[in-house]
Structure 1
Amino acid sequence: MIGDAAALLGVAQEVLWAGVAVFLRVAAMAGVFPVFGEQSVPLRLRLAIALALTLVVLPAVPLAGGAPGLAALVGEPLVGLFFGLFLRLIVMALQIAGTIAAQSTSLSQIFGASAGIEPLPAMGHFLVVAGLALAALLDLHVRAAAYILLTYELAPVSTVPAAALVAEVGVAEVGRAFRFGFALAAPFLVASLLYNITLGVINRAMPQLMVAFVGAPAITAGGLALLAISAPIMLAAWSDRLLDFLAAPFGALP
């Protein structure tokens, strides 16, 4: 009886240490994950989500027996942040697109609430909330678990990416996020350019006409109409980018 209990205790210790190693990576990743890691989500709920994801992925994670070393205890949260922040950049692309679109249509001074810390223009807030809701509807919790397991193939336990690789990939992904955000807001930039050119022509033709009083309501109404038309297309392109990255990090993006 005592021998069986001692053997069971050894197995329990191995499972506990394995759970600690997995939790360190998952908690860091869940803290910045889209939907789950938003600042509006209470801290206790985020902790519960991290624990739930840990229990889901733990049986499938390849781990060596015994207690994790110092490299795992220190490196696993860093690896989790490394992979989680790139998903956060995809969400930031929507924020960038919304901010550019609001500035182009003279709506940047109208602020709304925000899922993050800083308030966004109302147009950006609308796009971010709609994108997060769409991601949740697309079974983000299932894809998140698969993404976590995929990170163990790219960076096994006790493996910390080299600083040069982190810098290279980080710069590339930040640039890609800004390009993607700019591309999403391109219709608003084109509309703003045509609007300003038209106002300039009208002002040259009729200097006595106060074109600003005529054009301000027009650009506001046009911006809202363009948002209603383009928002489904923007969100579809954004969700495709998010799902592609979750399925194949760094390989699915052009």
Structure 2
Amino acid sequence: MISLLKSSRGQLVLVDTGFDSGASMTGRRFDDFVRSDVLLERFGVDPRKIETLVLTHMHFDHAGNLRGFPNARIYVQRYEYESWKRVIEEFGEQTSKSHWAFSSLNVADFHALEAAARDGRVVFLDGDAAVAEGVTCRLAKDTHTFGSQWLEVATPDGAYVIAGDCCYTYENLERMWPPGYMQGNAWNMLREFRRMKDVAGDDLRRLVPGHDIALFDRHPGGRREETRFIEVHLAKGGASFLE
């Protein structure tokens, strides 16, 4: 899943880039896959005009297709980058998803980030940091991954949470029950759940979890060229994608 934010000044912020090829952990290709830059074009958004790109973490379904956004400044936690770099140095450049350490990381995506860093397009964050008007990254250290982060987004109707994989589903926060797959610590995840609930509210009306089909039931949505989407919050006077 990717999320597109637009500030009151018109600044576009993209959260995650999705897959590069649509291949899953098992190698099976997901049905009806659409690359993220192509998806934005369907909504009239030129991917070359994305200037701010936040990666919640480096897993293949969130950090692929960096090439689709050649002009974006990429924000990622330094701890996430440096930790995965140590994994690659320790275990080698595995391509097989049968190796647990690389079950959710495509090394090619990591190298693409390093190439962007050499070009001066990567900002390594050291903890919580504002990255755009009303948009703050929150470090969730050693939870889903080493340096996963979620976003707090200010709106006139209260702050929203874009959780990435710091929260898979609404049920995770409703039950305070961490998901089964993580590469960090479940107790750290519970602490982040509390932080997210403090922002999103007990009813989770202002929460966008990373992998929950229930999003399509809780928010207005539609289809664009057979791709489903939702509109979580629309600023007063803003142009809706639903129209």
Q: TM-score, normalised by structure 1?
A: 0.23
Point out the structure with the larger strand share.
2
Give the structure with higher Rg (CA).
1
Q: Indicate the structure with greater helix content.
A: 1
Greater relative contact order, per chain length (Cα 8 Å cut-off, separation 6+): 1
